Amino acid sequence: MTAACPACAGLPADDVAADVARPSVALSVPDVHCAACIGKIERALNALPQVAHARVNLTLRRVTAQTDLPAEALVDELKRTGYEAFPFDASRLAHDTDATGSDLLLRLGVAGFAMMNVMLLSVAVWSGAADATRDLFHLISASIALPAVLYSAQPFFQSAAQSLKGFRLNMDVPISLAILLAAMMSLYEALHGGHHAYFDAALSLTFFLLIGRYLEHRTRASARSAAGELAALEVHTAERKSGTRVETVPIADLVVGDVLLVPTGARVPADGRLVSAEAVTDRSFLTGESEPVTHGKDADLRAGEVNLGAPFTLTATAVGDDTSLRQMAAMVETAENARNSYTSLADKAAQVYAPAVHILSALAFLGWYIGTGDLRLSLNIAIAVLIITCPCALGLAVPAVATAAIGKLYQLGFLVKSGTALERLAEVDTVFFDKTGTLTQPGFDFDLDTLSDDERAIALGLAQASKHPVARALAARLGQTTPALIEDISERAGRGVSGQVAGEEVRLGQAAWVGLDGGGLALKTGARAIALRQNETLRSGAAEAIAGVRASGLDVAMMTGDSATRAKRLAQDLGLSAFTPEMAPEDKHTMVEASEAEGHHVLMVGDGLNDTVALAAAHASVAPATALEAARSASDVVLVRDSLEDLPALIATSRAAVRLSRQNFTIATLYNAVAIPIALAGFATPMLAALAMSASSLTVLINALRVRRAS
């Protein structure tokens, strides 16, 4: 669970200090939300004498600093500033550039420029240019078209070559064949004084299909591997004890049986068994729940937990790839790979369409050659069939709709990351919501009606003496109260704060430490102990989202690592009858997989690291922008706005997108049903072929825009 934006008051950023040659330290800071956050973080880090240069990347929510300080020192400084940060190994992630998108745009520009120039020359030929003038225009067209086609159509040629090497056909095989044959036959006609050439058609094919390829690429461009994000967030060094000495060693050097020291505020570097008498850790990084967990001697600890109390030692029981965190990363990677095997509508169409086009063109050539014996005429007609049937409209059918739908969803606050996300969202029939941080807002609220004025004063006096997030939230809640004078205040890490008032002991902290059964926060004044009920604030639009999803005909359930009591209370507030409490990350993953195995298509909505595997395993997934980086990476869609109210619109738009994509396939099929007989009869001139192909592509693009009116 992440904290609310701590710096929305709008603070100016300081100038960045001069960069000097120092080691670079990278941190993940999931709480960064605005320009004020950037200014506050950069100012705090740049104020440190050992930091030469600190920069915040708001999009990736990362901080990079040139400093000799260890990452832990920067983490501590950011915590004092109000931000939770995690050491981050940036070298584990690939350099994040979009070379493919830039390459496609350049090829698209070259094809478009060449197409416009060749079209001007073609208009002159169609208008009556003959003999030497016509031949000259054809040769000029060839000098423009051939280099442009050979360069711009490379993505189709490479894809077709790979497909043929694997003894299979994809949509790029007929595309490549049509472009190459049109260009080569046009060159032959130009060199032999032919009346017609297909240079404009070859370039039009390349241009329109590159539009579709680029639109498809854009829907995939932002997806990054969540498994890589998990690995990058691991601890990279550990404090290993050898007798009375403690040495800092790389994680890779650890072996099972090593005795490890975990300082206060540090992360547990490996799975292990507690040697110390007691430890208090924060498992929210793993479970999403904010309650500190107290462990006794011989308790099992997992890599990634944060030590909230005194330093403790443990014996490593799993290191390297065997730790819980690494196994979770492996499960995420496996789930991502399984989801990436989803066959899109366009791919399904290609499996049928590609062989049909080749067979039809071959039959046209054979039929005309047998009937006329004219090789040149037969080749021209076969090429006309290929151009007219070349899947320009099919190549645009899905990308055009997807791009229009993604634009609409962006206006609603959704960032769609996966190329097949809309198709998978349209198929979901079950929705699983995480509770903490997803259906509820990060933070704490309290029901204080049971406290007297004196008890409120004592609670504030104790709360303001602690830096614990729960204590600070309670102090803010009691801000109008005058605090009591409390003597001999002391804090026991992970348990609470105690002191003396008029000779009587007072305590504020965990219910069990105060003397009550159950969990949560409690106050003790003398002999009286009072539970302070922590209320969770519903995320804006949560109730409307659940009602809307249900109205769409979907089943809804809630899963959480929180206690049964708190989960039931929230479920009742939302009108949910199906919920499962006290779930580990593996349990959520198992529940999603079991539902998928029963034939359901699951939409998972979650925000924590404990949700990451389930997000990756689900048929489709959504994460709020406040989620950890790994959870956002594992999801198909990121919700930028705080409200969940428009979640039903996401599903409705996805269904409309799939419906319009299928309509586009129908349009392309009807176009072929009319155009193919004309081509087979020999009436399809290069001009008609190019115009018919362009008309079908424009029709598909116009139909795709209707998704913006879908609701």
Q: What is the 3-state secondary structure (H, E, C) of 161-224?
A: HHHHHCCCCCCHHHHHHHHHHHHHHHHHHHHCCCCCCCHHHHHHHHHHHHHHHHHHHHHHCCCC
Alpha-carbon separation of residue 642 from 33, 344, 634, 645, 646 (angstroms): 11, 31, 19, 9, 10
pLDDT-derived band at 545 (thresholds 50, 70, 90) equals very high
Q: What's the pLDDT score for residue 291?
A: 65
Best-predicted range by mean pLDDT (285-294, 416-425, 497-506): 497-506
Give the mean model confidence (pLDDT) for residues 67-89.
79
How far is Cα 708 from Cα 711, in angstroms, rounded to an integer?
8
Any idea what the Cα angle at residue 364 is, between residues 363 and 367, rounded to 5°?
Answer: 80
Q: What's the pLDDT score for residue 121?
A: 85
Residue 18 confidence (pLDDT) above 50: no
Residue 432 confidence (pLDDT) above 90: yes
Per-residue model confidence as pLDDT tens digits over 558-581? 998 777 887 888 888 888 889 988
Phi/psi at 250 (5° precision): -65, 150
pLDDT-derived band at 68 (thresholds 50, 70, 90) equals confident
Per-residue model confidence as pLDDT tens digits over 88-119? 655 555 444 567 778 889 999 999 999 889 88
* Residue 318 DSSP symbol: E
The beta strand positions in 283-322, using DSSP E, are 293-296, 300-301, 306-307, 312-318
Catalogue the active-site residues: 434
Q: What's the pLDDT score for residue 711?
A: 60
Q: What's the pLDDT score for residue 166?
A: 73
Per-residue model confidence as pLDDT tens digits over 438-481? 888 755 667 677 888 889 999 999 988 886 767 877 888 887 88
Q: What's the pLDDT score for residue 17?
A: 38
pLDDT-derived band at 393 (thresholds 50, 70, 90) equals low
| Strand, helix or coil for residue 415 | strand
| pTM summary value | 0.60
- Count CA within 13 A, CB hemisphere, residue 545: 25
Q: What's the pLDDT score for residue 10?
A: 44
- CA of residue 84 relative to chain centroid, distance: 21
Residue 485 confidence (pLDDT) above 50: yes
369: its two tokens:
């050659």
The beta strand positions in 373-495, using DSSP E, are 414-416, 430-434, 445-447, 487-492
pLDDT-derived band at 147 (thresholds 50, 70, 90) equals very high
Which uninterrupted H or E stretch holds 140? helix 131-152
Residue 19 confidence (pLDDT) above 50: no
How far is Cα 400 from Cα 404, in angstroms, rounded to an integer?
6
Sheet harboring 637-639: ordered strands across?
414-416, 637-639, 620-624, 602-605, 430-434, 555-559, 579-580
Which of 134, 93, 344 has its CA nearest to residue 229?
Answer: 93
DSSP string of 226-288, one letter each residue? HHHHHHHTS--EEEEEETTEEEEEEGGG--TT-EEEE-TTPBP-SEEEE-SSEEEEE-HHHHS
Q: Are strands 602-605 and 620-624 parallel, antiparallel or unpaired?
A: parallel
Residue 9 confidence (pLDDT) above 60: no
Any idea what the Cα angle at residue 136 is, between residues 365 and 385, rounded to 5°?
Answer: 20
Which uninterrupted H or E stretch holds 325? helix 324-340
Q: What's the pLDDT score for residue 567?
A: 85
Whether the CA torsion 654, 658, 663, 664 is positive or negative: it is positive
User: Is the model more confident about 383 or about 487?
Assistant: 487
- Count CA within 13 A, CB hemisphere, residue 711: 2
The beta strand positions in 335-492, using DSSP E, are 414-416, 430-434, 445-447, 487-492
In one letter, which amino acid is 138?
H
Contact 270, 260 (CB under 8 A): yes
Q: What's the pLDDT score for residue 661?
A: 84
CB within 8 Å of 104: residues ≥ 6 apart: 155, 210, 213, 214, 217
How far is Cα 15 from Cα 39, in angstroms, rounded to an integer?
9
Q: What's the pLDDT score for residue 22?
A: 63
Mean pLDDT for all residues in the chain: 79
Best-predicted range by mean pLDDT (116-120, 225-229, 551-555, 679-683): 551-555
DSSP string of 605-633, one letter each residue? E--SGGGHHHHHHSSEEEEETTS-HHHHH
User: Is the model more confident about 32 or about 256?
Assistant: 256
33: alpha, beta or left? (left if phi > 0; alpha if psi -120 to 50): alpha
Mean pLDDT lowest for which of 83-97, 260-274, 476-490? 83-97
Domains located in the chain, CATH noted: 24-92 (3.30.70.100), 99-220+348-402+656-709 (no CATH), 230-333 (2.70.150.10), 413-442+539-645 (3.40.50.1000), 445-535 (3.40.1110.10)
Beta bridge partners of 315: 259, 273
Q: What's the pLDDT score for residue 284?
A: 65
Give the mean model confidence (pLDDT) for residues 397-408.
78
Residue 82 confidence (pLDDT) above 60: yes
Residue 138 confidence (pLDDT) above 50: yes
Residue 299 confidence (pLDDT) above 70: yes
Count CB atoms within 10 A of the CB of residue 585: 22
CB within 8 Å of 392: residues ≥ 6 apart: 205, 208, 209, 212, 693, 694, 696, 697
Alpha-carbon separation of residue 640 from 187, 214, 380, 607, 624 (angstroms): 53, 24, 53, 12, 6
Any idea what the Cα angle at residue 573 is, between residues 571 and 578, rounded to 5°?
Answer: 20
Any idea what the Cα angle at residue 445 is, between residues 440 and 450, rounded to 5°?
Answer: 135
Residue 544 confidence (pLDDT) above 80: yes
